[in-house]
Amino acid sequence: MTRKILTVVGARPQFIKAAAVSRAIRETDGLDEVMIHTGQHFDADMSDVFFDELDIPPPAYRLDIHGGGHGDMTGRMLSAIEPVLLSEKPDWVVVYGDTNSTLAGSLAAAKLHIPIAHVEAGLRSFNRRMPEEINRVLTDHVAALQFCPTAQAVENLEAEGIRTGVHHVGDVMYDATMFAAKRAKDRSTIIADMSLAPKHYALATVHRAENTDDPAALRAVIDYLNNEAKKFPIVLPLHPRTRHAAEKFGIQLDRLRVIGPVGYLDMATLLGGAAAVYTDSGGLQKEAYFHRVPCTTLRDETEWVETVTHGWNRLWKGADFAARREIGEYGDGRAAHKIAEIVKAA
Ligand code: UDP
């Protein structure tokens, strides 16, 4: 009997994670996948490029929902996902991470009594002002299977009373990094195209609402990066949200090497050659470690606490780097296959 998995994605980090799991699903007998793309991220360089580069089959459903407030966007997604679930009748709904698409997919499935598997479960910033924190807490509480990337994530769930269906499988982002590193070798030319000298530049990304919604906060981050740019050139692939915010607030970015958002293979190449990373992204903090590049996180807290305790990451306003140790808990690059096997057996 074949099990039908319905995957809900919508934002950049979800395409990257789903690419790894989708590949594992295709390599596992007895599983079939149908994908919904909510449209939360829709620009070619925030969406299509990941489908092309990472061999994700075209989604069966494109809902084209983006913009508006959080409630408006999530509500529209919820009512658009429900009829798809009713007609597809999947055995499982698989959601990723912590975006509005994650929450909408989870709520739609929970109300129809379709079991949910949450990939990247159990992460907590303990900052409820982050929209992502609300999305991940609620999703974890309606999911039947919790795929945790770290031991800390398992502990976080336990502290909230979630003890069944919890699996520490490792981090699918590590699977994605290994895939991209191989593929980028002969497909990405960004280092030469930008005339960068390996290990003599840094890579930065900024897009969290806490850094972009408030002019003083964004100015503080850009001032910090401008100052760091005295040490080495800083390449900043700019998220559309940050570009709009900088334009709106009249914040100049001319001391940084600003480019548009890049595809995952260029990102892997840029990371591989970087001397340092500055970011408020969740994914990038770990990818920096996967490439053994020190990271400074442009936030007041992080969900990926082991990157800090093991000396690969620090908070920009916090203590210096701790002594460096390897991090064992992200797995062996087979997290996605473990997920596919567990869903199949569940
Ligand atoms: N990323 C990318 N191109 C870019 C910026 C980021 O491919 O121009 C990748 C990055 O390597 C990471 C993922 O997008 O894997 C992170 O997504 P984002 O920062 O949007 O979300 P978060 O990880 O904070 O949820």
If we measure between CA atoms, which residue out of 4, 6, 15 comes closest to residue 83?
6
Q: Which CATH superfamily is 3-171+331-345 part of?
A: Glycogen Phosphorylase B; (3.40.50.2000)
Catalytic residue numbers read 207
- Ligand 1 centre and the CA of 283: distance in Å? 6
Q: Which amino acid is at 280?
A: D
User: Which atom of ligand 1 is the closest one to the Cα of 99?
Assistant: 25
The tens place of each residue's pLDDT in the chain, 346 residues long, gives: 899 999 999 999 999 999 999 999 999 999 999 999 999 999 999 999 999 999 999 999 999 999 999 999 999 999 999 999 999 999 999 999 999 999 999 999 999 999 999 999 999 999 999 999 999 999 999 999 999 999 999 999 999 999 999 999 999 999 999 999 999 999 999 999 999 999 999 999 999 999 999 999 999 999 999 999 999 999 999 999 999 999 999 999 999 999 999 999 999 999 999 999 999 999 999 999 999 999 999 999 999 999 999 999 999 999 999 999 999 999 999 999 999 999 999 9
Domains 3-171+331-345 and 186-315 share a fold: yes
Q: How far apart are CA 28 and CA 25, in angstroms?
A: 5
- Ligand 1 centre and the CA of 54: distance in Å? 14
**Does the domain spanning 186-315 belong to CATH 3.30.590.20?**
no
Q: Which amino acid is at 86?
A: L
For ligand 1, pick from 51, 281, 302, 307 the residue to mutate: most ligand atoms within 8 Å of CB.
Answer: 281
Q: Which residues form ligand 1's pocket by a CB distance below 6 Å?
A: 12-13, 16, 97, 205, 207, 237, 261-262, 264, 267, 281-284, 287
If we measure between CA atoms, which residue out of 174, 1, 172, 208 comes closest to residue 94?
172
Give how far Cα 50 sits from Cα of 10, 157, 160, 204, 236, Å.
12, 31, 34, 20, 19
DSSP letter at 303? Answer: S
For residue 305, the model assigns a pLDDT of 97
User: SS3 breakdown of the chain: % helix, strand, coil, rounded to 5?
Assistant: 45, 15, 40
Six-digit token pair at 316? Answer: 């920009």
Phi (first) and psi of residue 245, to 5 degrees: -65, -45
- Ligand 1 centre and the CA of 138: distance in Å? 23
Helix (H) or strand (E) holding 34: strand 31-37
Nearest CA to ligand 1 atom 5: 261
How many helices (H) and strands (E) the chain has is answered by 15, 13
- Ligand 1 centre and the CA of 176: distance in Å? 12
Q: How far apart are CA 151 and CA 329, in angstroms?
A: 7
Nearest CA to ligand 1 atom 19: 281
- Domain ranges in the chain are 3-171+331-345, 186-315
Phi (first) and psi of residue 206, to 5 degrees: -140, 120
For residue 83, the model assigns a pLDDT of 98
Measured in residues, the chain has a length of: 346
For residue 1, the model assigns a pLDDT of 85
Phi (first) and psi of residue 185, to 5 degrees: -50, -50
- Are the C-beta atoms of residues 59 and 19 closer than 8 Å to each other? no
271 CB contacts (<8 Å, ≥6 apart)? 203, 277, 284, 287, 288, 291, 293
